[in-house]
Structure 1
Amino acid sequence: MIVTNTENQELTIENKIDKVFDMEHCEGILCPIKDILAHLGDKWSIFTILALGQNKVARFNELKKQVNGISQRMLTVTLRSLEENGLVSRQIYPEIPPRVEYALTSLGHSLLGQMLQLAEWATSHRDEIEEARQNFKEKKLVF
């Protein structure tokens, strides 16, 4: 049997999806993949990582201004979570008042690259997505 590139590509995608849903790799109730995505997949984490990717190093208030709409408490929670997961480093300078700077780690930079690919995809398919949303609204009005 000859396998074409398209068939082979579909098998590879199916295998990757199977790995995501493979319950053998899950410990107890919580699957590591779901756990990681839950920590990193929210909008505030994504925008904070993008802001740090743009600035290289930023202080708390700089991030708060750049991540439009985030509250002080939510930014604190987000930065702690990103630090806990090894994506952000936190440097405290013993000054009066103390100065704290945040930066992406090498792991954070690798995730930033993936996020930028997703952003490029979203940008290139924006018109299609908007059209689908409009079609959905129109179909919903019929019912």
Structure 2
Amino acid sequence: MGEGGVEREDPARSVMAMLGDRWSPLLLLVLETGEWRHADLRRTAAALSAEQALSQRILTLKLRALERDGFVSRMVTDDVPPRVSYALTPLGRALVGELRRTISWLNERRGEIAAARRSYDELD
């Protein structure tokens, strides 16, 4: 059996793209701390980011994509108005573990990466 990611709709491709986007990894890391309501998640993610503010539309799109892939669950109460909250699924927790390992690996090699960039830039 070959490596995944070859086909356009292969989950390996879409999940790797999602992990490379601006907001999804940050949302996963925030959700690692527990269940979050939509508005609180938006404020916290935006406060943690050095980027521009996270719009409600983008947050909703990212959460839907994470939910579709099985990483996030969406809970709606019967309250009026309904309360919507999000949490990681077991699959999402496993993904965050891998994300944290990747971040640690990158941090451990920060100097090597910086040196490689300097060497490359000197060639120009």
TM range, smaller chain:
0.7 to 0.9
Equivalent residue, structure 1, for 2:10: 31
What does residue range 45-84 of structure 1 map to in structure 2 within 5 Å? 45-53=24-32, 55-67=33-45, 68=49, 69=52, 70-84=54-68
Q: Distance in 2 between matches of 1:82 and 1:40?
A: 10
Q: Which has the higher contact order (CA 8 A, sep 6+)?
A: 2
Equivalent residue, structure 2, for 1:9: none
Equivalent residue, structure 1, for 2:119: 135
Larger proportion of helix: 1
Equivalent residue, structure 2, for 1:113: 97
Q: Distance in 1 between matches of 2:67 and 2:10?
A: 21
**Cα displacement (A) at 1:40:** 4.6
- Cα 1:112–1:60, aligned 2, differ >3 Å: closer, same or farther? same
Q: Distance in 2 between matches of 1:85 and 1:31?
A: 12
Q: Distance in 1 between matches of 2:91 and 2:82?
A: 26
The 3-state SS of whatever aligns with 2:79 is coil
For residue 16 of structure 2, what is the amino acid of its counterpart?
Answer: L
* Larger Rg over CA atoms: 1
Q: Distance in 1 between matches of 2:117 and 2:96?
A: 28
Which consecutive unaligned segments of at least 5 residues does structure 1 have? Answer: 1-14
Deviation track 1:75-115 (CA, whole Å, cap 9, x = no partner) reads: 11000100111110111122233221110001101111100
Q: TM-score, normalised by structure 1?
A: 0.70
Residue pair 1:40, 1:82 contacting (<8 A) in 2 also:
no
Q: Distance in 2 between matches of 1:125 and 1:49?
A: 23
Q: Distance in 2 between matches of 1:50 and 1:88?
A: 12
Which consecutive unaligned segments of at least 5 residues does structure 2 have? Answer: none
For residue 112 of structure 1, what is the amino acid of its counterpart?
Answer: V
The 3-state SS of whatever aligns with 1:79 is helix
What does residue range 95-106 of structure 1 map to in structure 2 within 5 Å? 95-106=79-90
% identity of equivalent residues: 36
